[in-house]
A and B are shown apart, each in its own frame.
Chain A
Amino acid sequence: MNLQLTLALRYLNGRRLRTFLTTLAIVFGVLLIFGMNTLMPAFLGSFTANAMAAAGQVDATITNKTGENFPESVAAKVADVDGVVAVSATLERPVNLPADYFDQDASTPDRVTAVTLVGANPDDFRSLTMVNVIEGRYLEAGDGAAVVVTQSLAEAAGLSLGDALTLPSPTGTVDFEIVGVTPQRLLPGNEEVLVSLPVAQKILDAPGMVNTIDANFDSVAETRRAEIEAAITRVLGDNFTIGVLQAGAEILQNIGVAQAILNLLGGMGLLMGGFIIFNTFRTIIAERRRDIGMLRAVGASRRTITRLILIEGMIQGVLGTAAGILFGYGFALITITGIAPIGQQFLNIQVGKPAVTPGLVIASILAGVGITVVAGILPARAASRVTPLEALRPSVGEVTLKRMAGFRFWGGMGMIVIAIAALVSGNAGFIALGAVLFTVGLIVVAPSLVNPIANIFGRFMALIFARQGTAQLAEGNLSRQPSRAAVTASTTMIAMAILVMVGSIISSIMITFTTMMEKSLGSDFLLVPPSVAIWGTNVGAAPALADELRAVDGMAVVSTTRFAGAQIGEVAVGVLGIEPRAYTEVSGLTFVEGDPQAAYQSLEDGRGMIVNGVLATAAGISLGDEVAVLTPSGEQTYTIVGIASDFLNAKTTTAYISQANIATDFGRTEDVFLQMNAKESADLDAVEAGISAAIRQYPQFKLVAGQEFLEQNIGLFDAAMAGFYAMMIFLSVPSLIAMVNTLAIGVIERTREIGMLRAVGATRKQVRTVILAEALILAAIGVAFGLLSGLYLGVMAVSGFSALGFPMEYIFPASSVIATIAVGLIFGALAAIVPARQAARMDVVTALRYE
């Protein structure tokens, strides 16, 4: 075997614990990047699969860009286009089913959580899609409440041919007779329920409307197909899309953002890993100066030495990356299992397996191995500069007491000043840049500050470990190697900064969202559909339900929300229709810009629109703008009268308009979310009973008491935040390893000094105390810097969120600051354990003979 490889393997094997801990840092980083990136596509994949499943195997699927309904007559225009051989217009609608809809049993998992209602002209439909009826018959023109269902749906629902299938609809539940059964679906997704077009139009309250046109072309040649598609676009205009289904496009955008944030975390993990590797190699080189010198003396070239160190790094990088990928996959699997119920509850989708792409594997390998190698380069070069003389005459521990207030110090201070100026500017880009400058500035300045800080803490420690001189010794040990102390302190700093930053974000998010939640979900009762994230997949209720609710004895006010899909520029938008007066009584938007009173008023005068922050940022809209909104009936100009959001829709691109406008422009009169307040004098139980009676025909809604819903949401929120915290602690663990390493170098380099201390009468305990004091001073420096940096990053993140459209109030994370100080000092003490024992157990004679 190659000599360098042999040496690398033997050395790594000789220090198994350290190899393990160092490699662990890489594992963490790769795990996060790999895990997150397999998880998100799995999520996205199942989401789009649900949407795409409906498209089937046809040449072209034509939908309105908004995803909304359009007149049946459009189908005829498509059929007339040259090259189009078959056309089928359908009215398709995902129908989210409430939990335990079929089995009425909360203990067993639901096998069907949603179905897709497809209303079609039976003959047209069959001309495009092969329908293989295995039992019963196919639909016939003029069929009334007859359905054809898949075998799997029939099984899951416990129904068979001739039975009645009951589905929720805006006008109350509808009973269908199962007249035919088709084979079970190959692709998982929403089960299709096929009915005739007029029936679908009636129960979905969309007379004469369809929302999907499938077409087959006369050619499979790419150029010909492109020609035909172009011809269709010419006939239909720009408002239609060929080939892409639009439903839920607004949520896709958010999943993308989440993925970016998690990638950032993974990147930070890897960076930490790189830092640790860097640190470890410096330890290794300190330990092996003699070996390296000897290798040089017997004829190893500088290149050989560099390569030796790099190969060691590479081995750790490769192992760490491999383990990271493996654990990352496991992590994704576990998360998916854990998240599946939430996915079903809020998005109503079935999440599939983690998605592993060759590109992701390659990227993870490059990141994991690359960072290790890069981190190893500097130490490896330092190693190659060890002279052969080291083998014969090892240098005495270096002492660098010169002051370091040079170019570095002032450069770093300059960066910090610029960063603070950036913070004041309020511009998101500047602030983000400022965060980087601030952290880098602190790292650059650190070596110059180690001495004064060590001095201060040293005095403090001297009070604790009084009269033994141990604190002074410890302080001196740090001060004589300020750059090394600074590197360790910087690692701790980054870990602590992350803790404080997350603390700031969490406390700010908590306050902001809890306030928003209480405001927007504060009504006495709510009728909640299966999905509160993708409104479009819910089946709502016709206005009759709201009227019935208003008639309930003791009811004060009923406010309803209606939904339609739209597009502003290239941004998919969820449009919510509200009735301002009722809405403000039971709920309310949290305004960032614009006067609430005037804004609500303007919704009703002409075409006024309130947009949330995410949409304002995504589409570049400001207060007072006139924007072109793509609706099923063409483009309409709305005036932006306010920027505001409620809790449920704060994360997706959302616009609020009046119910009159959503009816005129989008043809929507269906209520998807209802909030109610009872009269003050009313008996709440009686009102609840009244509501229950009214919604008996509307199983798509769940009746929730306001307080209960609020608590549910806060609970979910807390759980998500706790997960976030756990991940952060995960990320800060590697800094512990870095600290152990630096302390270990110190012990190795001072073997003789320690021997001398013992020889002149220092007890083992005193030696241990010196090392412990050193560790605590180091940790204190790291924590002090980490707090500074973390507070800045926290302010930055909160301003950044505001710039992205999530306005938040900055809350000083007092509990995080205390936790960070505690964690930092505990880390310091933990890090000292191994080196302190090593130093204390050293044999005096051997130590004195050690050179």
Chain B
Amino acid sequence: MTTIQTEKLTKIYGHGATAVTALDHVNVHIKGGEFVAIMGPSGCGKSTLLHLLGGLDKASEGHVLIGGHNLNDLGDDQLTELRRRKIGFVFQFFNLIPVLSAVENASLPVTLDGMKPAEARAKATGWLTRFGMGDRLGNRPDQLSGGQQQRVAVARALIADPELILADEPTGNLDTRSGDEIAGLLRDVSKEFGRTIVMVTHDPRIAAYADRIIFLKDGKVVDETQLERKNGNNAEMLADKIKEIGD
């Protein structure tokens, strides 16, 4: 199982007087199979951290180690391969290709990796059916509801059997019920298949599905909380905490 570690991870946008420090010497350690939520007020650097973990952006200083590999040492092709094989992404706006069907969208990463179409299709169908989308395989994104689109996106993130899944506000664009469904789906995946999941969210109810919460403010880690699964008031506790940090 892959562990993720950052050391003095720093990201600065712009130069000179207009420079903005989005991340400021962040050190986090995420164990393999852990489900971590990152919370914090707007502009605290949540998304930037996620982008750096996924190799989508380059750090200004410090580094990210995924399973012992330093992302700074990888070229574009190697990063692309890493994303394709080891990381799955779930975005706030689903980001499905509008001209492809649900099953084609879900199978995209493995198709790109050269898997035989029939095999890729079977695999995608498996995940989609598991997520209750068995009767929607041939529909295009514009024929699906937001929750259904996000389920396709989760299936796409899982299809290549990645060890790490990065989710950026996966429920941000969904109603409460669909949001709960997706968060539950992610937790099940983490428990059942032992996948490492890092999820950015500002919603305490959604964050409550995670094992551990990392709080960020002004580009720095300000707090961490290990959640007890049995405790039913996790969401309220997190909401209070966020309010406290935000102020």
Contact = CB atoms under 8 A, between A and B. Distances in A.
B91 A294 contact: yes
A391 B85 CA distance: 19
Contacts of B80: 296, 299-302
B89 A298 contact: yes
Nearest to B86: A299
Q: For chain A, what secondary structure do more than half of its interface residues adopt (helix, strand, loop), or is it mixed?
A: helix
B100 A10 contact: yes
Contacts of A300: 80, 84, 112
Interface string B102-118: 00100011011100010
B76 interface: yes
Which of A295, A302, A392, A393 has the most chain B CB atoms closer than 10 A to its own CB?
Answer: A392
A291 B95 CA distance: 7
Contacts of B91: 294, 297, 391-392
B176 to A, nearest CB: 19
Given A7-B97, A290-B95, A392-B47, A297 B83 contact: yes
A417 interface: no
B76 A299 contact: no
Contact of B89 (A1, A13, A297, A304): A297
A299 B120 CA distance: 15
A851 interface: yes
Contacts of A387: 56-57
B117 A392 contact: no
B97 A291 contact: yes
B81 A299 contact: yes
Interface in A291-324: 291, 293-302, 304
Contact of A391 (B81, B95, B113, B156): B95
A851 B109 CA distance: 24
What's the interface size class on A, roughly?
20 to 34
B51 interface: yes
Contact of A851 (B89, B93, B96, B112): B93
B160 interface: yes
A14 interface: yes
A389 interface: yes
Interface residues of B, number: 33
A13 B140 CA distance: 14
Given A299-B160, A301-B77, A3 B93 contact: no
Contacts of A295: 97, 108, 112
A299 B97 contact: no
Contacts of A10: 99-100
A6 interface: yes
B168 interface: yes
A746 B135 CA distance: 39
A299 B91 CA distance: 15
A388 interface: yes
A11 B91 CA distance: 22
B84 A393 contact: no
B246 interface: no
A10 B99 CA distance: 6
Contacts of A392: 47, 51, 56, 91-92, 168
A775 to B, nearest CB: 27
Contacts of B113: 299
A824 to B, nearest CB: 35
A296 to B, nearest CB: 7
A389 B51 contact: yes
B98 interface: yes
Given A298-B83, A299-B160, A388 B56 contact: yes
Contacts of A304: 112
A301 B82 CA distance: 11
A6 B104 contact: yes
B100 A393 contact: no
Nearest to B76: A302
Nearest to A291: B97
Interface string A269-298: 000000000000000000000110111111
Contacts of B89: 297-298
A635 B100 CA distance: 79
Nearest to B95: A294
Contacts of B85: 299
A3 B98 contact: no
A295 B113 CA distance: 12
A290 B117 CA distance: 24
A294 B81 CA distance: 14
A7 B98 CA distance: 10
A298 B84 contact: yes
Nearest to A394: B93
A53 B214 CA distance: 94
A388 B83 contact: yes
B117 A299 contact: no
B116 to A, nearest CB: 12
Q: Which of B56, B104, B156, B160 has the most CB of A within 10 A?
A: B56
Contacts of B168: 392
Interface in B110-145: 111-113, 117
B85 to A, nearest CB: 7
A1 B99 CA distance: 15
Interface string A10-26: 11011000000000000
A392 B89 CA distance: 10
B145 to A, nearest CB: 16
Contact of B99 (A14, A293, A298, A393): A14
Interface in B146-197: 156, 160, 168
B99 A11 contact: yes
Interface in B15-30: none
B111 A3 contact: yes
B167 to A, nearest CB: 11
Contacts of A6: 100, 104
B117 A1 contact: yes
Contacts of B98: 14, 291
Contacts of B156: 298
B111 A7 contact: no
Contacts of A7: 97, 99-100
The residue among A3, A295, A296, A393 with the most chain B CB atoms within 10 A of its own CB is: A3
A389 B50 CA distance: 11
B91 to A, nearest CB: 6
A386 to B, nearest CB: 12
A298 B47 contact: no
A799 B51 CA distance: 63
A284 to B, nearest CB: 12
A393 B56 CA distance: 11
Nearest to B168: A392
Contacts of B93: 851
A146 B96 CA distance: 89
Interface of A: 1, 3, 6-7, 10-11, 13-14, 290-291, 293-302, 304, 387-389, 391-393, 851
16 contacts: A1-B117, A3-B108, A6-B100, A7-B97, A10-B100, A291-B97, A293-B95, A297-B56, A298-B83, A298-B112, A299-B84, A301-B80, A301-B81, A392-B47, A392-B92, A392-B168
Closest 7 pairs (CB-CB, A-B): A299-B84, A10-B99, A294-B95, A388-B56, A298-B109, A3-B111, A301-B80
Given A295-B97, A302-B76, A389-B56, 5 more contacts: A3-B111, A7-B100, A299-B109, A301-B76, A391-B91
Interface of B: 47, 51, 54, 56-57, 76-77, 80-81, 83-85, 88-89, 91-93, 95-100, 104, 108-109, 111-113, 117, 156, 160, 168
